[in-house]
């Protein structure tokens, strides 16, 4: 059986998210289709949250870049379109380099976000999204 490398990464990200959300006290629900705009539904304290999970490695500068878009390929090439932020409450980003999940509300960002796993070498602290600040579901 041939493996689909990017699918395997996505599956790992979803599993890591399920464990992390469970450890934060959430009950996890999984949609019965792969075509929904979210991968999981997390429930806690009477509130449901639709969660889209992404697997993102850290770049050589120590940051994880997150794009709020979706892409696919077909016989006409590769296509990208922005997500509908009204259909996703939380983006969970699993980073294999830190082996941690980070949680963002897409509505609070533009088309993308960068999370700093390692501190910038220039010592900049202002206007930096430190990944450690995004470890809990908002």
* Domain segments of the chain as ranges: 5-134
Determine the pLDDT at residue 127. Answer: 82
3-state SS track over 83-107: CCHHHCCEEEEEECCCCEEEEECHH
Distance, CA of 119 to CA of 103 (rounded, Å): 19
CA distances from 82 to 69, 126, 136 (A): 4, 28, 25
Determine the pLDDT at residue 124. Answer: 76
What is the pLDDT tens value at each position of the chain, 138 positions in all?
555 677 889 999 999 999 999 999 999 999 999 889 999 999 999 999 999 999 999 999 999 999 999 888 899 999 999 999 999 999 999 999 999 999 999 999 999 999 999 988 787 777 889 999 999 999
Q: For the residues of 48-81, what is the DSSP string, one character each?
A: EEEEEEEE----TTSEEEEESEEEEEETTEEEEE
Distance, CA of 57 to CA of 16 (rounded, Å): 14
pTM: 0.89
The phi and psi torsions of 107 (rounded to 5 degrees) equal -65, -20
Task: Specify the DSSP class assigned to residue 138.
Answer: -
Distance, CA of 81 to CA of 83 (rounded, Å): 6
Q: Domain spanning 5-134: which CATH class is it, in words?
A: alpha beta
């Amino acid at each position: 059986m041939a493996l689909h490398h990017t699918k395997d990464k996505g599956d790992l990200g979803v599993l890591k998210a399920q464990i992390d959300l469970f450890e934060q006290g959430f009950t996890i629900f999984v949609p019965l289709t792969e075509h929904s705009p979210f991968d999981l539904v997390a429930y806690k304290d009477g509130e449901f949250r639709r969660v889209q999970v992404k697997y993102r490695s850290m770049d050589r500068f120590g940051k994880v870049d997150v794009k709020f878009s979706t892409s696919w390929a077909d016989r006409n090439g590769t296509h990208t379109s922005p997500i509908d932020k009204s259909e996703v409450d939380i983006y969970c980003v699993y980073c294999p380099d830190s082996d941690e999940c980070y949680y963002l509300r897409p509505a609070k960002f533009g088309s993308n976000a960068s999370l700093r796993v390692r501190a910038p070498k220039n010592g900049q602290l202002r206007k930096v999204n430190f990944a450690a600040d995004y470890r809990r579901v908002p």
